Amino acid sequence: MNIAAEVTAAQADARAFWEGVAQAHVAPSARQIDRDSAVPEAVMAALREAGAFASGFPEAFGGPAGSQSDPVGAALAHGAMHEALGKASASVQGVVNVHHMGGSALARWGSKAQKAQWGPRLTSGETRCAIAITESEVGSDATAVRTRAVADGDGWVVNGEKAWITCGASADLFVLIAASDDGPVALLLPSDAPGLTIAPIPDMLGCRGYAMARLLLDDVRFPADALLGKPGFGVTYVASTGLDSGRYNLAWGCVGLAEACRQAALAYVQRREQFGQPIGEFQLVQQLVARMTTDIHAARLMCQSAGVARGQRAMTAAKEATMAKYFASTMVNRVAKDAQQLHGASGIGPETPLEMYFRDARIMEVIEGTTQILEIMIAKFSYQERPA
């Protein structure tokens, strides 16, 4: 396997996706998405046409041709797509990401019947998926969820509430994590299920196109075939699969958002003049440019390493995805802050997208595991690897 060639091919894929889809169809709508807190159907159609919803899934599930024979290349190409989306719109990257999170759990743990029913609909983008773990009083400790599933005949009855669910107001299918007498369970929840009320959460700080919502479940009945995996598998297996996918994708999305900040800053400092010269000629400005350029490059390399590990199904894959998300999410906040600082007053006004980038970047240290939770996870990975 020639890893350098795989990386080069993924970079070419990213450029092609940027030029053909992200730049042409997503980026022009970014400000509208931020204003309206919704992704236009024209953007979703362009993503479906480009195969964005199939990317990242196994070929047998409906993923891209060749992904089974070249899993490293598929993982890198998938990440590169998320970088391009993050550069165009952090909201759209998040919408595609959460679709992959829920879908990855289904692709890994679903029965043959579940995969046959949902696979074609998910990979075509006909059905949009999301994952519902978080609750008002339960975040990173998914084992503590209070939403409860009670066995009822050969099915389940569920009551409870989920909060801060990305795409909660727009998804068609949720992978729901609930507590039960047999341990945490994962259940497939259609958005039109009787007893389910979806309450949108407006006015988010950033990534407003995420269509965040609360899910209120009042005696929602699930048939036996709605169970994903086995009772007790809900957190350790099903949710972990979705979260691992989400961290990998989001790390790439952070690289894309940071690159959008950097490109805006580079253009500005080379045209903005003070004291008779472009401000880009001043040493302190160059220091900020150097720092953001190096930071982005380092984060991209971490994402590529995580992609190789993911494609190889290496034992270190989860650790590498966690570290990539940790570094990239903190990095994009530094870059957004520096880029905004370089713009001065215009960086906090409506004339440039910097204020939107700044708000979107802030979200990245919260979702798919806060910075502090990821630090704990990385430390535990380190302890496990310590030589005897």
**Catalytically active residues, by annotation:** 368
Which residues neighbour 342 within 8 Å (Cβ) at sequence distance 6 or greater?
265, 268, 269, 279, 285, 288, 289
Exposed, middle or buried, 305 (CB in 10 Å: 0-12/13-18/19+)? Answer: middle
Tokens representing 210? Answer: 């995420």
- Determine the Cα–Cα distance for residues 181 and 138; give it in Å rounded to an integer: 19
> What is the number of other CB atoms lying within 10 angstroms of the CB of residue 266?
16
Contact status, residue 187 vs residue 228, Cβ threshold 8 Å: yes
Which residues neighbour 346 within 8 Å (Cβ) at sequence distance 6 or greater?
268, 352, 354
Which 3 state secondary structure label does DSSP give 161? strand
Q: What angle do CA 201, 205, 210 make, to 5 degrees?
A: 55
Exposed, middle or buried, 120 (CB in 10 Å: 0-12/13-18/19+)? Answer: middle
The pairing of beta strand 173-178 with beta strand 155-165: unpaired
Give Cα 178 distance to the centre of its chain: 22
Whose tokens are 């599933």? That residue is 149
Q: Which amino acid is at 314?
A: A
Q: In what order do the strands lie in the sheet with 155-165?
A: 148-152, 155-165, 213-222, 196-200
Q: What is the DSSP letter of 142?
A: G
- Determine the Cα–Cα distance for residues 343 and 331; give it in Å rounded to an integer: 19
Helices 317-343 and 240-271 cross at an angle (nearest 10°) of 30
Q: With left for phi above 0 and alpha for psi between -120 and 50, is residue 219 left, alpha or beta?
A: left
Q: What is the DSSP letter of 29?
A: G
